[in-house]
Amino acid sequence: MCADRLENVNPELFQKCFERDITPEEEDDNIVDEFDSREIFDLIRSINDPEHPLTLEELHVVEQKLVEVNNENNEVNIHFTPTIPHCSMATLIGLSIRVKLLRSLPARFKVSVEITPGTHQSEAAVNKQLADKERVAAALENKNLIGVINQCISV
């Protein structure tokens, strides 16, 4: 998505985290290896920002410490932090995170994607929209929108 004028012209950049070390236990098929926050973070950190040629990780929109996994209750809760409090892309970013996780995780997981409290002026409205699975389903049937999202989540 190429806007004529960037909303946040000069975003602050952050260091990417190191690649995850693969332990011998993880390679052992006999050991049950539950989803952890690093694994979920790895799925979403390389999502592209709709505005900049940067990843959500580099912009600190997503962070591992804001990923919560509860395997027993089949819950994954993500908080994401828009780069600026009036970011008009917040819904699109949240939707991209949702779609990426819907496609990657087993269907048993209930995924919630919310704005980090206090970081966006329309936080409640965006959260409500992202939590409404009927509106999300309708949005994902919109060819233009799904095109943009696919671009954001393509590696």
Partner 1 sequence: MAASGRLDLVDSLTGHRGRVWNVSWNPTGTVFASCGEDKTVRLWTKSSGQRTWMNKTVLTDGHQRTIREVAWSPCGNYLASASFDATTAIWDRKSGEFECNATLEGHENEVKSVSWAKSGNLLATCSRDKSVWVWEMSEDDEYECAAVINAHTQDVKKVIWHPHEDILASCSYDNTIKLFREDISDNDWVNCGTLTSHESTVWGIAFDKTGTRLASCSDDKTVKIWQQYLPNNPEGVVTEGSEPTWKCVCTLSGYHSRAVYDIAWCHETELLATACGDDTIRVFKETPASDKNEPEFELVCTVHRAHTQDVNSVAWNPKQPGLLVSAGDDSRVNLWQFKEETIIF
Which of these, 14, 18, 102, 107, lies nearest to 62 by C-alpha position? 14
Q: What's the rounded Cα separation, in Å, for the pair 56 and 37?
A: 16
> For residue 99, what is the DSSP state?
H
Question: Minimum CB separation from partner 1 for residue 37, in Å?
Answer: 21
102 interacts with partner 1 by CB under 8 A: no
**Residue among 13, 33, 138, 151 that touches partner 1 (CB under 8 A):** 138
Question: Minimum CB separation from partner 1 for residue 95, in Å?
Answer: 16
71 interacts with partner 1 by CB under 8 A: no
4 interacts with partner 1 by CB under 8 A: no
Stretch that binds partner 1, among 27-35, 42-50, 55-63, 135-143 (CB under 8 A): 135-143
29 interacts with partner 1 by CB under 8 A: no
Among the residues of the chain, which ranges form H helices? Answer: 24-27, 37-44, 90-104, 123-131, 133-140, 143-153
Q: Which is it for strands 75-80 and 110-115: parallel, antiparallel or unpaired?
A: parallel
**x/- letters, 111..130, toward partner 1 (CB under 8 A):** -----------------x--
Q: Residue 79 is inside which H or E element, if any? A: strand 75-80
Residues contributing to the site for partner 1 (CB under 8 A): 107-108, 110, 128, 131-135, 137-138, 141
